[in-house]
């Protein structure tokens, strides 16, 4: 199954609940009128794009239609696709790693978002692409988190550096960096806690890890990937804002996209925070992590056929 087919299948609920209705709206009407834009705005809000984002995006669409002299609703479809691509930032974002030497990637996000699972999938992907990987079990506060990471480490065929539950997460990351250097490993993927006693404690812990990483490896962290459960909708946007302030998020990994009608949150995160989505999770298997391609995403979202979409998946 190709990337477009996988995304089309994964986005089925979002497309049927919302964007399929958007496509029907613009193809099933005659003259373009104000009521169409109002209905479009309502549908975007239902997709968890967010009120402010939906209003702003429809206003952009309205303005572009006026500038181009579009009078028929059917003529809005290609413009709709163009505007969605614009909202997603156009080009496919890639995973930023050091051109040579050791790279460090921090994985952040709340408990339950699929962070540990995503780390295992990303490790598998990097290894498949010829890079050696070590996992740092930095979520030392959640019962079972270390063991869960070790399970995924075995699936991906990579080593896990760990300490006992309750240990200092920054010390675990430090040990992993030292181990990676001694073994000439390419990438360290660092798991981190998703919840401490309160938000300030969690953010202070993340800041401490960032300081250790920056001190030990030049240019690190090379990526800070926020793992978000797509089904949480607008809560995902709140998480992105919170972690961006504390951890300097550079990209988003969207999980559970195949089980929700709230895929529009991708648009909200990009439009409001300017953070690119870098990967999407479309299942539970070790291979079910795909690089995010805006064009493929949009075509899958609005039901464009494979012949019409020209995008190609890009590697990590």
pLDDT means per 10 residues in the chain (316 residues)? 58 62 70 86 75 83 91 82 77 87 95 92 96 97 91 96 94 98 98 76 89 96 93 78 86 78 69 84 81 78 49 40
Q: How far apart are CA 7 and CA 256, in angstroms?
A: 12
Tell me the CA distances in angstroms from 182 to 134, 179, 275, one per residue in order: 12, 5, 34
pLDDT given for residue 304 in this prediction: 56
Q: Is the dihedral of CA 96, 88, 206, 159 positive or negative?
A: negative
Q: Which residues partner with 223 through β-bridges?
A: 105
pLDDT given for residue 28 in this prediction: 66
Q: Name residues whose C-beta falls within 8 Å of residue 156's C-beta, 6 or more positions apart in sequence.
A: 120, 121, 123, 124, 127, 133, 286
Tell me the CA distances in angstroms from 88 to 83, 116, 277, 294, one per residue in order: 9, 26, 9, 6
What is the DSSP pairing of strand 289-291 with strand 277-281? antiparallel
pLDDT given for residue 237 in this prediction: 78
Structure-block tokens of residue 294: 């805006």
Q: How far apart are CA 143 and CA 77, in angstroms?
A: 50
Q: How far apart are CA 70 and CA 186, in angstroms?
A: 52
pLDDT given for residue 303 in this prediction: 58
| 135 CB-side CA count, 13 A | 34
Domains, the chain, ordered by start: 3-88 (1.20.120.140), 103-292 (3.40.50.300)
Structure-block tokens of residue 103: 């790279």
pLDDT given for residue 91 in this prediction: 66
Nearest to 118 by CA among 126, 295, 100: 126
Q: How far apart are CA 13 and CA 21, in angstroms?
A: 12
pLDDT given for residue 9 in this prediction: 65
């Amino acid at each position: 199954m190709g990337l477009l087919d996988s995304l089309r299948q994964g986005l089925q609920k979002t497309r049927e609940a919302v964007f399929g209705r958007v496509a029907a709206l613009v193809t099933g009407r005659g003259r373009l009128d104000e009521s169409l834009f109002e209905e479009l705005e309502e549908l975007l809000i239902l997709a968890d794009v967010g009120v402010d984002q939906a209003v702003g995006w429809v206003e952009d669409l309205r303005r572009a239609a006026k500038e181009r002299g579009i009078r028929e609703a059917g003529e809005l479809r290609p413009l709709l696709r163009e505007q969605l691509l614009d909202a997603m930032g156009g080009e496919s974002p890639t995973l930023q790693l050091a051109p040579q030497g050791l790279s460090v990637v921090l994985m952040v996000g709340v408990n339950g978002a699929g962070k540990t699972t995503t780390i295992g999938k990303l490790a598998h992907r990097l290894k498949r692409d010829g890079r050696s990987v070590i996992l740092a079990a930095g979520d030392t506060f959640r019962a079972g988190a270390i063991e869960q990471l070790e399970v995924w480490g075995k699936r991906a065929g990579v080593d896990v550096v760990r300490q006992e539950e309750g240990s200092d997460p920054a010390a675990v990351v430090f040990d992993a960096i030292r181990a990676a250097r001694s073994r000439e490993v390419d990438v360290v993927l660092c798991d981190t806690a998703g919840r401490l006693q309160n938000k300030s404690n969690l953010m202070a812990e993340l800041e401490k890890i960032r300081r250790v990483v920056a001190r030990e490896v030049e240019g690190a962290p090379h990526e800070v990937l926020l793992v978000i459960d797509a089904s949480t909708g607008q809560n995902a946007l709140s998480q992105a804002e919170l972690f961006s302030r504390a951890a300097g998020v550079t990209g988003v990994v969207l999980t559970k996209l195949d089980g929700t009608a709230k895929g529009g949150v991708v648009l909200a995160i990009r439009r409001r925070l300017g953070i690119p989505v870098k990967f999407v999770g479309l299942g539970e298997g070790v291979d079910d992590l795909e690089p995010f391609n805006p064009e493929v995403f949009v075509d899958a979202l609005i039901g464009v056929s494979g012949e019409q979409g020209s995008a190609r998946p890009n590697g990590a």
